[in-house]
Every structure is written in C-alpha cells, then in structure tokens.
Amino acid sequence: MESGKTESLEMNFSSAAAVGGSEELTTECHQIRRLSTEKSFKNPQNQQMYEVERLLQAVPKLNEIFDIVAKVGEGTFSSVFLANVKSSTPDQEKKKFVVKHIIPTSHPDRILTELICMQNIGGKDNVMGLNLCLREQSHVVMVMPYFPHDKFHHFIQNMTVEETREYMKNLFLALRRVHQFNIIHRDVKPSNFLYNRKERKYALVDFGLAQKVPTPKRKTRITAGKEDTPIKITVNPKESQLLKRKIAEINPSVRLTELNINTFQNKNITSQKFPLAVTSAGEENRPKRPRILSPRKEDRTVGTTRTSLKTKPHSQNILRVKNCRCFGKAQVCEICTSRSNQVAPRAGTPGFRAPEVLIRYESQTTAVDMWAAGVIFLSILARRYPFFKVPDDLTGLAQIMSIHGSEEVKMAARKLGKDVQCNIKLPAMDLQQLCQKLQDNKSSSTTSLHTRLSGNTLPRKRSPKQQRSPQSQKSALSGIKVKRRQCEEFPKSAYDLLRQLLDLNPSTRITAEGALHHPFITGVDRQ
C-alpha cells in the first residue's frame, strides 16, 4: 500500500464471535475494571496504553494487522492512533498508517457519507484517501496513510508570499476536487488541511461533517411591507348557491368574521369543523386577539368552475401571516412562536462558520467552504491564529460585523431573506490596512480579538467627508511603513482575493475554480 494512493476499501461488517471462558464479562464488570484501570493510569504514558488497549478490545481484528503505537489526536467524533503494519521479517521497514476510531454514538449516515467521500474523492488533488475500513458491532475504524505535518501556528508567523501562494493554491485544488462531487466539506480549517513544510505536501482530511449540497426547495418569496395580491379562485355556481343558503340559516346572533369561499362542509354546518371564524354578539366588547385560520384536512377544495372571483379583504381581527407584528423588531410575536423550528445546517468549527450558517440560511452551498478558506487566508495575512475566537453564533456574527460593518451584514442578510438587528453601528474595516496593522503590531498577539477589533487604532473605511488629508495620512502611516520594510509585503492581489473569499453574499463569493485563476494564485503579480 502506497501512502499517497487509495488502493482498496475493505469493509468487514461481520460481528466478532462470542468470547467464552473468563473473557465473557458482564457490563458491570467492565465498568469496574475500567474505573480501576483509569485510577491506576496517572501519567500520560499509562493513559496512552489504556487508550490503545480499549481500541484493541473494541476491534480485535486490528491486532492481527497493525501494531498500535500511540494515540496522536482526538476530536469531537473520533480518536486517531498511529499504527505500524506487522511485518513477517524484523528487518523489513514498517509502513505507518493512521487509524481513526469513530465514536459508537455517531449516526450511521454520517459514517457512510465519510466513507463514500474518502473512497470516491480521496487519493487525488490533495484529498486524503482510504486504505481500509473495519467494523466490529458498533465500532468503526478507518485506516489512512500516515501524513507527517507541521502545526499551523509554528509556521504562520514566517510564511513568505510565495509559500502562502502555494499553500492557498493547494487548498483550492483540494476544495475544487471536493466541490466537483457536489459535496460540502463543512469543516475546512488549518488542522484539517495538513501541510508538510519540508516536502511541500498537502492533504485535506476529516470528512466527518461532509454533506451533499441540498436541493433547493421552491418557495414563494414574500417581501414584508407589500400588500397581498388578491387571490383568484373559481367556484362551482350550484355549490356556491347551496353554500349561501346554508350560511343564511346560521343564527344571526353571531357575527361573521371571515369566510374562506374556497372551502365548505357538507355536514353540520354550524360545527367547529366549519372553516369560519365567528364571535358571538355578546363578545364584541371583549379584547380582540389576533387569530390565524388554516384549512382543515376535512375541507374540500372547489375548483371546477370558470367564474373568477376575488376574495374580500381580511377583517382587522385577522392578522396576516406574511406580515407579522414583530417583523424587523427585537421581539417575537405569537405568530413566530407558533411556527416550526428552522432546519438549517450548523455544523462546523466556531470561528470558521460562514455568515449564512450563523443566520441559519437553509440553502447553503459549497460557498461555506470558501468562507472558511478565506478565514485561513486572513489568519496568514494578519499573522494571527485563531483570528476569530467565538464562543457562540451571535458573538461570531458580531465579530464579522466588526470587520465588514453592521449595515453591510444587515444588507447581506436581507438578500437571504433574513433580518439582522444590531443596536450599534459599526463601520467596515479596510482589510488590507487591518492585516498590515496586525502584522506590524506583533506585540498585541496576546490581546483578545475584542480588544484588537474594538480599538480605535485599527483602520476603518471612511466616508468622503471623513477622509484624512494626504499629509495626515502620510504621518499616520509613516511608522507602519518603517516596520514593514523588515518583512516581505504581500501584493494588492492577495487582499483582493481575500475580499472575494470573505464576500458576505454566498452567491457572489468566489469559487474554488475561480480562485485558482485569480492573479495572486497564478502569479501574474510576480515582480
């Protein structure tokens, strides 16, 4: 098996045979032994041995093929171990592999998606391939080539322009490969894009959160504030006359609030199933509460006539669902609370989630990955990692506002059918000046992102009236230019690519294919 290629996919879905004798222990005995073992392992080395032992107990077949060396990593849904292939001769060089043990509580669909992605996409264009897959009851392990790599924070401070160009180019190559299969990786970050600095090799790993691009659903777009268009319907004349006679028989002591002339009932016209909202005459002085009427399952739709009618305007007692009372306000009304929860993917690592993910936009595309690539590029240009330190989605959105501007984020959200409210106005920053300022101000590396972004020392985009004079700009930036002479300066094309990667609108955000043809990546701007 070569480390760079995917040779075979072997799935072992057979359950292990029952172990007899003294090894057949109950669940309680297992728990007692685990607790006593964990207590005895107080140093990291013993803990490593315990982790390896647990893996071999869960998947005994691994012990027949590999020598598990140690645990080298751990994530939310899996643990990663370094393993050597058992050789027949002691002098033979042992090939190294990585064994990924997925936690048993993972959903089978997620495991299947990761397997399919690595089998079909991996092994080409910097995408990690798969060599072997084993399953033992609820435990699944994946075996991949071992890829020695450097830590991102070890080389981010001294990456040259040319090295950055190659790094981003290879990242875009991997993303283009993934996106060609209509797959969203959803977890693009430096720890999932491995880089061997010595050999200049790259590998995109971890498809645990990957998913197919969802098929967009056809929906009627509703714009708040516009009047409802009258609905044209058709009614059978005979049934309409019958309906009018039955309505005339209703007790006049009740007042008709609304009538849906497109539905009727054949039986028990005064029952609760009749699609009318009525209030008795004695209830007129009571406080009026808004009501929403929806068609019943038992109702029958009439549509066999050619006569065109228009519905009467709604009563003031009936709220229109399209224009609820709280739209655009920092509150929630009864209509909103009665709606079902929004179903939108939110998977990803905090700090790398795109704006459309944070505002729970349903129709997410591969542009989610391009935003994450933009955050990586921003970290390189600013020499700051992590650039965003996000405890929750709202804080993440606020930090994006502090860079792009609050009004710009609001406008982008409106294009996606969302309304974002912010009690303060934040002007947009100039990304080039921001990165250059953070590059020079290395002494602020220990300060928090809030301090860096909220400080008055960072550049903001100014309106024409607020623009400084050339003389004042020259004096303000003179100190920065002196410091920048000591390090290599990135060309303007790099910041242009950064702006296109961090485009707030996912539909206009640059694609992986487009990024590969950008002047900074192609090297047109080389001097």
Q: Are residues 398 and 514 in the same domain?
A: yes
pLDDT per position as a tens digit, 157-214: 999 999 999 999 999 999 999 999 999 999 999 999 999 999 999 999 999 999 999 8
Domain boundaries, position 194:
152-214+345-522
Q: Are residues 499 and 405 in the same domain?
A: yes
**Residue 173 falls inside a structural domain:** yes
Q: Are residues 118 and 179 in the same domain?
A: no
Full DSSP string of 1-52: --TTS-----EE-PPPPPP-GGG---HHHHHHHHHHHHHH--SHHHHHHHHH
> What average pLDDT score do residues 112-124 get?
95
**Residue 513 falls inside a structural domain:** yes
Let me know how many helices (H) and strands (E) the chain has, helices first: 18, 16
Q: Please report which confidence band the pLDDT of residue 243 belongs to, taking 50, 70 and 90 as the band edges.
A: low
**Residue 328 falls inside a structural domain:** yes
> What average pLDDT score do residues 262-268 get?
48
**Residue 450 falls inside a structural domain:** yes
Neighbours of 292 (CB within 10 A): 13
Q: What is the rounded distance in angstroms from the CA atom of residue 225 to the CA atom of residue 231? A: 18
**Residue 456 falls inside a structural domain:** yes
Give the domain-ending residue among 121, 145, 169. Answer: 145
Give the domain-ending residue among 304, 338, 372. Answer: 338
Q: Are residues 379 and 514 in the same domain?
A: yes
pLDDT per position as a tens digit, 16-52: 333 344 444 445 444 544 544 454 445 667 888 899 9
**Residue 224 falls inside a structural domain:** no
Give the domain-ending residue among 305, 338, 371. Answer: 338
Question: pTM of this prediction?
Answer: 0.68
Best-predicted range by mean pLDDT (4-13, 82-91, 232-241, 321-330): 82-91
Q: Whole-number mean pLDDT of the chain?
A: 76
Q: Please report which confidence band the pLDDT of residue 325 belongs to, taking 50, 70 and 90 as the band edges.
A: confident
Q: Are residues 139 and 34 in the same domain?
A: yes
Q: Are residues 208 and 355 in the same domain?
A: yes
Q: What is the rounded distance in angstroms from the CA atom of residue 452 to the CA atom of residue 454? A: 6
Q: Examine the pLDDT at 75 and tell me if it is beyond 60.
A: yes
Q: Please report which confidence band the pLDDT of residue 76 belongs to, taking 50, 70 and 90 as the band edges.
A: confident
Q: Are residues 209 and 236 in the same domain?
A: no
Domain containing residue 176: CATH number: 1.10.510.10
Quote the pLDDT of residue 527: 52
Q: Please report which confidence band the pLDDT of residue 458 belongs to, taking 50, 70 and 90 as the band edges.
A: low
**Residue 3 falls inside a structural domain:** no
Q: Are residues 389 and 479 in the same domain?
A: yes
Instruction: For strands 232-234 and 308-310, give the pairing.
Output: antiparallel
Q: Are residues 15 and 129 in the same domain?
A: yes
Task: Provide the domain count of the chain.
Answer: 3
Q: Are residues 292 and 329 in the same domain?
A: yes
Domain containing residue 90: CATH number: 3.30.200.20
Q: Examine the pLDDT at 436 and tell me if it is beyond 50.
A: yes
Q: What is the rounded distance in angstroms from the CA atom of residue 515 to the CA atom of residue 496? A: 11
List C-alpha distances in Å: 158 to 195, 319, 380, 479: 15, 61, 9, 21
Rounded to the nearest 5°, which phi and psi values hold at 68? Answer: -75, 120
109 classed as catalytic = no
Residue 518 near residue 497 (C-beta atoms within 8 A): yes
Full DSSP string of 177-228: HHHHTTEE----SGGGEEEETTTTEEEE---TT-EEPPPPPP-----TTSPP
**Residue 412 falls inside a structural domain:** yes
pLDDT more than 70, % of the chain: 61
The answer to the question of whether 217 is labelled as a binding residue is no
> Which of 67, 187, 392, 430 is flagged as catalytic?
187
- Tell me if the bond preceding 386 is cis, omega within 30° of 0: yes
Q: Are residues 354 and 494 in the same domain?
A: yes
Q: Are residues 72 and 183 in the same domain?
A: no
